[in-house]
Structure 1
Amino acid sequence: QRLEAQVVELQRENKALVAESKGAKQALKDAEVDRVAAAQREAEAASMELQRLEAQVVELQRENKALVAESKGAKQALKDAEVDRVAAAQREAEAASMELQRLEAQV
C-alpha cells in the first residue's frame, strides 16, 4: 500500500511536471513569437528610414544640380555684364576721342 501511495504521488508529480513543461514550452514559444515580431518591426522601421534617407539623397542631388546650374548662370551673367561694361567704356572712349579730334580740328 505504501508503494501504491508512492506510485500515485509520483504520477501526480509527473502530471504536474508535464503541465509545467508544457507551460514553459508555451512561454518559450510566445517569447520567440514576440522576438520575431519585434525584429520584423525593427526591420520595417529600418527599411522605412533607409527609403526616407535615399529619397532625401535624391532630393539633395537634384537641388545641388540646380544650384550648380544657377551658379554657372550667375557667373555667365557677370561675365556678360563685364563684357558689356567694357564695350560701353570703349565706345565712350572712342566717342570722346572723336570729339577731341573734332575740337582739335576746329582750333
Structure 2
Amino acid sequence: MMTIPGARRATLIDCASGLAVAAAGREDLVDQHEDAAGATDVVRAVLSSPALSATPTGDDIEEIIVSGTGGYHLLVLTGADFDGHLFVHLLVDRENGNLALARLQMHRLVQEITDGRHDR
C-alpha cells in the first residue's frame, strides 16, 4: 500500500474493536491507535446514517473519502457487514498523490486481502 504514489500512511483496522491490526508510513502524523480509533468513528457514523444512503434499502458502503487541504483520507471497507471485517485507512498526499489511482490500487489490494482470507 505504501507503494501507491503519494501514500503517507496506511493502517489496517479491525472494525469490531477499532484497533490497528497493522500500520506503515509516517509516525509523526498520528499514532496508529489514534488513527484506528478516529477512522473507526468515521466509518461507524457513515454506516449508521440513513441520510448517506442513495437507495431506500441502504447502500453497501465500499469506501469513504475525506478531503483535507493537505491530502485525502481513503477508507476502504472489506465488506458490507461492519462487524467482523477489516478496513484500510490510507492517507494520500494532495500534491504528490493521485486520488483516482489510489482508489483503483486500494480496491485491488483490498480484494487480494479478502480473497486470501477466504482461502484459509
**Structure with the higher fraction of residues in helix conformation:** 1
Structure ranking higher in strand proportion? 2
Q: What TM-score comes out, normalization by structure 2 length? A: 0.19
TM-score by length of 1: 0.22
Instruction: Return the index of the structure with the highest Cα Rg.
Output: 1
